[in-house]
Amino acid sequence: MNKPVLPLTYEQLDHWIESLQPALLAERFSMALGILRGGAPLALMVSHAVGAPVAFLRYDRQTRAVAWDSTLPVPPAGSKVLLCEDIAGRGFTLVDCIAFLQAHGLEVKTLTAAVDDLSRAQPDYAIDARGYFALFPWERQAYTERYRDDWARVEAGAAPATANDHEYAAYAIDLDGILLPDVPLARYDEDLAAALAERDALLPFEVLPGIDLQQVRTIITGRPEMDRARTEAWLARHGFAHMQLAMRTPGRHDDSPAGAAAHKASAALRAGVTHFVESDPVQALLIAQQAPLLRVIWWDALTRTGILVSARAWS
């Protein structure tokens, strides 16, 4: 994938649907139809925005078969419906579903969260993602190497389907404040050598964030690269040597909260993880802003609580 990623959050999609409300109301759709699964959230958003009932279609990529998947009946011939899908892609999903509905005598308009250069069909309503790889909140696992490998096998016909979404969960964690206590910054200013020695002697927290450490792929720390040897030694002493270690390159990111957060956000995306656990609340907000589809958890070691964080720039 050589295109830049365009991450679209639930909030952004909800705001986009809300902005379309006057135009959608004017259409007087009798029903919003979501193609399972990617079109389902959009159909529900449309339903709430304009009051139209919602129903679903199921599509089989292998056979190109379309099936009505709802307790509601197919609307009468002549009704106007809005067909919703996450992306108008290069495949046949959208065109086959349109043909299925038209065969029932329905007037069909289409809404997709994204349209790009490879789209086979041009939707009536869509976010222009040409030149980008649109990524949706229900596809955050696409960042993981395992998901991409599984999807490649599906595309090649070597596997019937990918695993369940939750099975692709992969974590990265901060180091100081997560595995061991933070040394106050003032100690480093007073006597750097003594502060580093104090840090090296610290023991791990007895209570760690409530996650399976076997799911932790990478430790991403704001410590500079020059500290790698002593950091790896500490990790080895306390049983964490199996985890990858991503450290900050000072020439690329400084040690300010913004610099550390930029390093951690980019490292988390490179590591292909779905979740990141951060010990500093300000950095957690900045990471969430820079990586909107990453699940960012601020872990407060003092109270032993985690808070899921999301953030957008406000002006």
Q: In this predicted structure, what is the pLDDT of residue 205?
A: 92
Q: In this predicted structure, what is the pLDDT of residue 95?
A: 93
CB atoms within 10 A of CB 32: 27
The model's pLDDT over 134-190, given as tens digits with 9 standing for 90+, comes to 889 888 787 777 777 777 777 777 777 788 878 888 899 999 999 999 998 889 889
Q: Taking a C-beta distance cutoff of 8 angstroms, is the pair 62, 12 a contact?
A: no
Of 227, 266, 240, 226, whose CA–CA distance to 178 is shortest? Answer: 240
Q: What three-state secondary structure class fits 237?
A: helix
Q: How far apart are the first and last CA of the chain?
A: 32
The model's pLDDT over 182-214, given as tens digits with 9 standing for 90+, comes to 998 889 889 989 999 999 999 999 888 888 777
The model's pLDDT over 82-94, given as tens digits with 9 standing for 90+, comes to 999 998 888 789 9
pLDDT > 70? residue 314: yes
Domains and CATH numbers, the chain: 5-135 (3.40.50.2020), 169-309 (3.40.50)
Which DSSP letter does residue 66 get? E
Q: How is 266-306 classified by DSSP, letter by letter?
A: HHHHHHT-SEEEES-HHHHHHHHHHSTTSEEEEEETTTTEE
